């Protein structure tokens, strides 16, 4: 029996997925617990329409991410920090500071969790970093840390 999952079900599938399960499992467990609905002809049409809309949205977001990558890829982002002798800074440069600098300098709003630094920044200097714009789309930039 084909069912459309309403929630993630361990060892069966993820929410929104169309899966084939035994009739007994579907009727006695999935339907009674409200984890799935039967894949009737009408429900399958609705599911296919929802999947097509999701694919269209994903494709649009991917194109936007690729355009943003072309726009900012290879650019430099500057952050001013308090520094002591020999260029050592007090604390470290955080991904939040980088995200704020990206918004201020290039007009690109990114979540701090999408900023990928290879190392902890504790000195004045230049550091490469990446930004995850979309699944599989990352832009590489350079971070310039300057003393105030």
How far is C-alpha 127 from the chain's CA centre?
A: 23
- Tokens for 133? 């714009």
CATH code that applies to domain 69-147: 3.10.430.100
Look at residue 141 in the predicted model and tell me its pLDDT: 94
CATH code 3.10.430.100 region(s) in the chain: 69-147
CATH code 3.40.5.10 region(s) in the chain: 2-67
- Residue-wise pLDDT tens for the chain (148 aa)? 999 999 999 999 999 999 999 999 999 999 999 999 999 999 999 999 999 999 999 999 999 999 989 988 889 999 999 888 888 888 899 999 999 999 999 888 899 999 999 889 999 999 999 999 999 999 999 999 998 8
Fold of the domain spanning 2-67: Ribosomal Protein L9; domain 1 (3.40.5)
- The phi, psi pair for 126, rounded to 5°, reads -110, 135
- Tokens for 28? 């006695």
**Containing H/E element for 141?**
strand 137-147
- Report pTM: 0.71
CA distance 96 to 139: 17
CA distance 121 to 116: 12
Look at residue 44 in the predicted model and tell me its pLDDT: 95
């Amino acid at each position: 029996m084909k069912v459309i999952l309403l929630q993630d079900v361990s060892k069966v599938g993820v929410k929104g997925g169309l899966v084939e399960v035994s009739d007994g499992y579907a009727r006695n467990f999935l339907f009674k617990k409200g984890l799935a609905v039967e894949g009737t002809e009408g429900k399958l049409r609705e599911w296919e329409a929802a999947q097509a809309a999701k694919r269209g949205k994903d494709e649009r977001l991917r194109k936007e991410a690729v355009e943003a990558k072309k726009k900012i890829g290879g650019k430099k982002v500057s952050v001013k920090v308090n520094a002591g002798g020999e260029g050592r800074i007090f604390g470290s440069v955080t991904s939040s500071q980088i995200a704020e600098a990206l918004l201020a300098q290039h007009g690109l709003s990114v979540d701090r969790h999408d900023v990928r630094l290879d190392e902890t920044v504790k000195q004045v200097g230049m550091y490469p970093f990446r930004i995850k714009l979309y699944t599989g789309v990352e832009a590489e930039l350079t971070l310039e840390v300057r003393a105030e």
